[in-house]
Structure formats: structure tokens, C-alpha cells
Structure 1
């Protein structure tokens, strides 16, 4: 039985210069590494990223309390390693060592076990038996907290996915071409304003104006290339929710909306732009509004992110109320891959679509690419611009080429 013989924890940086952690686990003469991502738009129900917000403190505690417990652990049993991490932390939200440590250790442990067993990570974990490639769901126009600029859309992400492509490679290629076409259009009209943390394009507008422009650009792209795209949004509504006044503050348009006003706004954009995907349209505790919207628009995937936070208890609540048909899967929201797997299994048991997602603060770690296949996700959110985004897409292209996996059938996702 190969056991963990060495653990290395190093402080490194995300693509935007925030401190994060790289973990290397060694066993049986081989090693695997993993990097922790860091989100900017974080929900209240995510686990703690670092104790006291300090990565140095997280590393200090891990070296003192966690590493001695990991040495000698069974390297072929990553779930047991996750148990050790959980026991050492001793809290229900990773407050002692932080998810910057826990998720990097957990990802490295699962990758190491797969390496020892001579299996791809996605095959070793594989929640369902059938393996397929997810559709890339790409953030092409940005706003909200990812930009933190005045006069930009209140909606955080304007998303696209191709409607008629034969492969993951073609899906990425056409999305990249559309992204470049959007950028060229913005520059031609002298309204290009920059890029968000995820590489999405910025221009000064309201959410409605951004949707109108994106819709027009997609129509123009289709007329030129014969490739159509569906549109979606990540509202990230918790970031515009004022809990004291119980209203949504749309700073771009100057509108302040109560619950009914927000429902009407989201309903309007779904109908006007044929949106097939809407993520976090309401704040993270409003399960009832999610339910009302999903029941009204059965052909649109209403997706919970902050609502469910990759947390089984939150998902159980959403299932009880039938709040949504899809959920985001972000392993660092819950802090361990084993807990993420439990969340994904429950979602699949109840026919809820999964969307495996990156974070706004990323490295070139490709683990979520394998996980998106292992979790049989309908979509993968990995961005479309920047080395830390393309590395994840390239990993999926590589898997497609080597394993001959098929792309998920879009008709199974969008009905």
C-alpha cells in the first residue's frame, strides 16, 4: 500500500495577483500537485478561504497540525485523506485551516490516487457510468462585481454556448471566434472599455443594452458563419441585493427593484432574448423566487450558485421546493472533493443538471476539466480568454482527442 511520504505547501499567486496555495503530495515514488482558486463574488454559505483572511496563517496551521497527520496516510484512498483534513480542521466551514489548504490537498490527493491506479482522474471518480464532454458555457461580456467599474452592467456575466457544433474543439473554436468578433465590434464602435477578471469584455452600458448588443452580434455572426449561439446570464443577484431595504439595486439603470420587480425584470429578459440559462437571478436565501421563476420558464435552466453553494443541505432545500433545474459545482465552495462528489450524486439522483465551474481568481490548474467529465456536467464554465482559462479548455480538447468522448447532446440539456 503506497502511503503519503511528503507534503509540500507553497504560497503562490492567482492570475490577478492574489495569494493562494500550491500543494504537492508524494507517494510511491510519484507526486501530484494542485492549486487553490479564489473567487471574488463569494456567497455567504461558502466555507472560509483562509483563517483571519490570511494565507500565511493557513499555511502555518497546515504545517503544524495537518501535515504530520497526512504522512503515512493511504495514498490510494483520497476520501480517507479528506477525512483527515476535516478532522484536523474541526469546524463545519473550514475556519481553522481554510479552503485554500483543504481543496488543494483534496484535489492533489484524488489526482495522486488516480496516478497510482493508472487511471485518468475523471474515470476514477466518474459519478455516472457514461462519460461525455460538457458544453463550454462562456462569459463573453462582463459586469457586476467582476468589473467593479461605474457605468457597466449590473448583471455579472453574459454567457453564450454554441447551438450546433459536432465536438468540444469546434465549440471552443467558434466561441473564441465569436469573442473576437464581439471585441472587434466594440472597438469599431469605440465603446471597448476593458476586460473583467475572467477576460470577459467590458463596455459602458446597462444590462439591457448589453443583452441587445450581444443578441445583435450573435445574429450577425450566424449570418456570416452559420453557427448559432444560445444566450444566458449569471445575475449574481446577492451582490446587488440590499438586505436592509430588501431591494435589488441596479446601479447601471438606476432602478431599485423589490422581489416582484426583480421577477418581472428577469422574466422580461428571458422572454425578449430567449435566454436558455439564468444563474442566481435572486439572492442566496430566496428559494421561493427561484421556484416561481423556474415553474414559469420550464425551457430555461434556472441555476443555483450562491443558492446551493455546493452544499448538500442547501441542495436538499432547493430540491424540496423545486427551486431550480441546475446547480453550479465549485469544489472550493465546500472545501473537499469528497463532499463535492456527495453534492453531485444527490443532484444526479434528482435529475438536476450540474455546471462545473472555475472561479474568477484562477491558476493554470486543470483539475476542474477532469471533474466536469467525472460529474457528467452539462456545462463547464471555464472562461474563454486568458491562459488560466484556456488551459482548462485545452485539457478537455486533449481528452476528447485521446479518449474519443462525445459532446453532451444539447437536446438533453435544452428542451
Structure 2
């Protein structure tokens, strides 16, 4: 089917910052749109999110240049053309950009077109998006890793580490898992209230209190799990994303929001080792900084057989960087963010390399999100088994959970909840 129309406009993300939305139509009138998110904690090697830098509009964060790149150069090249598959369209846009990081057209412009085309093709073929992306074997509903306490750059509080997540893995279905997660989320609000802590939320819907220590964030979560009637570890485990690249300062890690301590890589590894012994932690994302590759090798050697070690800023959903990590024995899982790399095809390629080398794929939203549910279909399409898309509130987060509920209903008895099998080291 030829593309008959592609058009972009500037819209807003969950933080009230501009982002791009693309509408795309095929000649059979199949029509779809897509919106791209934006991150606050970003890796140095992410594809370029093109911003206008015009301080008179949105503090320089406008995306009119990206919009014009879609409505101008990209539309001129793809309108009236028929593409054999997703790869052909994405490859054309990559070549049209011609830079290694999509800095000419903007990864936000390219990705919005890529996602909209995938949706339109799925509609044209009479397929749900998850089957278009993953084929007829797409059937696994993921464990929702819910970010219930926010810190770091995602909240104005005294917690150094960015995300404290719960993973309700001991459930028969996704529907039951999300119910359990929501019950713990509301239980946590009660626990924080009783302790006199704030129950305001951060960028991703998690609570953002000032606590006595980083450790207390885990401890109040465990208290909330028990109060909700569940067992830590056997029913619900903890996942962490400390976003340590944000703590990296001249080769050390500075806990500037809490104690002010400065730790070496070895001391950070020891900190995580102690936490894992003390708490039911099954996943650690970005446990060390993106440029601390020697530290990452030591971290993987020490903890790689005990928990899932996820590279986010480390890998940036980039297949070349991931392959480097595989060759060096770094991490055992990769975070998947579409806008880190900039096309649907490259995202799928990275996930394939991860799978072929025994690495897990942990699909993720961004802190500046939209109501677009593409990552939900991607997670099911590739049977990824787990994802994070925020906490138990905020519409842009809940809409992803609702999409999983719709998919599970559509698949009926043919779906499987990933559950404990996602995490190799649930006790």
C-alpha cells in the first residue's frame, strides 16, 4: 500500500513539554497516528531528539523543526511510495538523515513516522499491532514493574536513586498482577501518610517523599506489600533503577541528595551486594554509570548470576553498543526504549541480538510520556516478559496498563502471564 499522506504537528507530553505527533494514511485509507516520548535522564549515546533551541518558545524545547522535517523532506520522499516492509521505510529515513545519531532530521521526527507507519500497516493487514510487530506467536503478557517511589532527577526530594519498583510476579494473569500492584500502591500511600511523609508524586506517578535514607525507600515498600496482604519476594519483588550516570562525577559516585558520600565503583558494587542480601531485589538497572565499563564488568562478575542486571544508558537500545557489552561480558539484560535509537526496525534488531545472546529485554517508557500505547504492543509482540511504564496513577502510565488488559482480553485463553519465569532469581 502506498503512503498517501503524512503530516506532523507539535503536541505536549506528560510534563507539558512539546513533542511530535504524526498522522499517516495508506491508499486503502488505513490511518494511524503516533506520539513520541522524551526522557529526563538520558544516555550520552542516545539518538538526537531535535529541539528548536528558540528560547522565546517553551524555553527552547519546541519541536517545530522536527515537525517541519516530517512535513517537508520526509513527506516529499515517502508520499506516493509503496514500501515492501517496515525495514525499507526505516532504512530510507535513516539514509535521508545521513548522520550516525539522527541529528539532521531528529530521532523524534523519524520515530514518529516509523511508529505511525507500523500502526497503519497493521490496520491495513487486519492485524493487532502486537502481531504485526511479533507475528502469530505474540502471546506473553508482562510483569508490570511499577515505579512506586521516585527519586533522583524524577523528583524534588532527598532520595539519590531514581526508581524503586515493585514486580507483582506471583499471579495467574496480567489482570490479577496489575490489581495486586495497584493494591500495594495504595497501601504504600497509607504507610507514608501514617509516617507523616508527603504523598505527592513524581514524573512517573510514584510517590516522592523526603525519607531518612535511600534504604528507607525499600523498607516502606516492603511494609506496604505486607500491609496489602502479600509476601515480599514470593508474591512481589523489588526492581531498582538508581540511574547512576546521574551520580557519576569525575570517576566517582556522589550521593549528593542524601548523605553527600562519594563512592568508588567497588564501593557502589558492595552497596548493591549488601542491598541484594538484605532485600528481595531481582533486577538492577544502571547499577553503575554508562562510562564505567570496567566497573560494569566487575558488577556483572559479582552479581550477574544473582539478579538481572539491565543496561539502559549503558546500551541506549543500540545494537552496536549492545554487541560490545556482550563481547565484554557486561550486564545480562538491556532496557528497550524506542526513542533511544529512533526507528521500529532498529529496536527490533537490538531485541533480536539480545535474545540470541541470552540477554533479557526490559521494555520501558520515558519520564516525559504520552498516551501512546505502542510500547505495550511491542512488549507483547516480542514476548519481552516485563516492562516499566510508571506507577499506579497518571493517565499516560495507566493507558499502557489498560492496553495490556485489552490485549489479554483479545487473546483470551491463548495468552500466558510471564510471572516468576521472567526473573531467574526469585527465591
TM range (shorter): over 0.9
Once the two structures are superposed, the pairs formed by residues 8-407 of structure 1 within 5 Å of their partners are 8-27=7-26, 28-53=28-53, 54-74=62-82, 77-126=85-134, 129=137, 131-147=139-155, 149-150=156-157, 152-205=158-211, 206-222=213-229, 228-242=235-249, 245-251=250-256, 252-297=258-303, 298-384=305-391, 385-404=393-412, 405-407=415-417
The alpha-carbon deviation at position 62 of structure 1 amounts to 2.7
Distance 1:117 1:157 in 2: 39
The alpha-carbon deviation at position 220 of structure 1 amounts to 3.0
The alpha-carbon deviation at position 267 of structure 1 amounts to 1.4
Contact 2:188–2:220, Cα closer than 8 Å, also in 1: no
| Post-superposition CA distance 1:183-237 (Å, at most 9, x none) | 1111222211521110010111221121222223223333699983101110100
SS in 2 for 1:161: strand
| Post-superposition CA distance 1:116-147 (Å, at most 9, x none) | 11111111221794531111111000100111
Q: Which moved more, 1:286-295 or 1:100-109?
A: 286-295
Distance 1:127 1:104 in 2: 22
Distance 1:393 1:217 in 2: 21
Contact 2:52–2:64, Cα closer than 8 Å, also in 1: no
The alpha-carbon deviation at position 15 of structure 1 amounts to 1.4
Distance 1:179 1:333 in 2: 29
Contact 2:191–2:223, Cα closer than 8 Å, also in 1: no
| Post-superposition CA distance 1:331-371 (Å, at most 9, x none) | 10000000001100001101111111111011110111000
Contact 1:267–1:293, Cα closer than 8 Å, also in 2: no
| Post-superposition CA distance 1:64-85 (Å, at most 9, x none) | 2111001012256222211221
Distance 1:61 1:114 in 2: 25
Distance 1:7 1:195 in 2: 37
The alpha-carbon deviation at position 87 of structure 1 amounts to 1.8
Distance 1:6 1:41 in 2: 34
Aligned-residue CA RMSD in angstroms? 1.9
Distance 1:175 1:223 in 2: 10
Aligned pair count?
410
Contact 1:76–1:117, Cα closer than 8 Å, also in 2: no
The alpha-carbon deviation at position 376 of structure 1 amounts to 1.6
Relative distance call for 1:157 and 1:349 in structure 2 (3 A) is same
Distance 1:397 1:267 in 2: 36
| Post-superposition CA distance 1:225-282 (Å, at most 9, x none) | 998310111010001111xx31111021221111122111121112111311100011
Distance 2:232 2:285 in 1: 28
Contact 1:157–1:235, Cα closer than 8 Å, also in 2: yes
Contact 1:331–1:340, Cα closer than 8 Å, also in 2: yes
TM-score (norm 2): 0.92
Q: Which 5+ residue runs of structure 1 have no aligned equivalent? A: none
Contact 1:240–1:250, Cα closer than 8 Å, also in 2: yes
Contact 2:6–2:25, Cα closer than 8 Å, also in 1: yes
Distance 1:114 1:262 in 2: 45
Contact 2:163–2:241, Cα closer than 8 Å, also in 1: yes
Q: Which 5+ residue runs of structure 2 have no aligned equivalent? A: 54-61
Distance 2:359 2:231 in 1: 36
SS in 1 for 2:8: strand
Relative distance call for 1:49 and 1:262 in structure 2 (3 A) is same
Contact 1:51–1:97, Cα closer than 8 Å, also in 2: no
| Post-superposition CA distance 1:299-356 (Å, at most 9, x none) | 3101110111100111001111221121110010000000001100001101111111
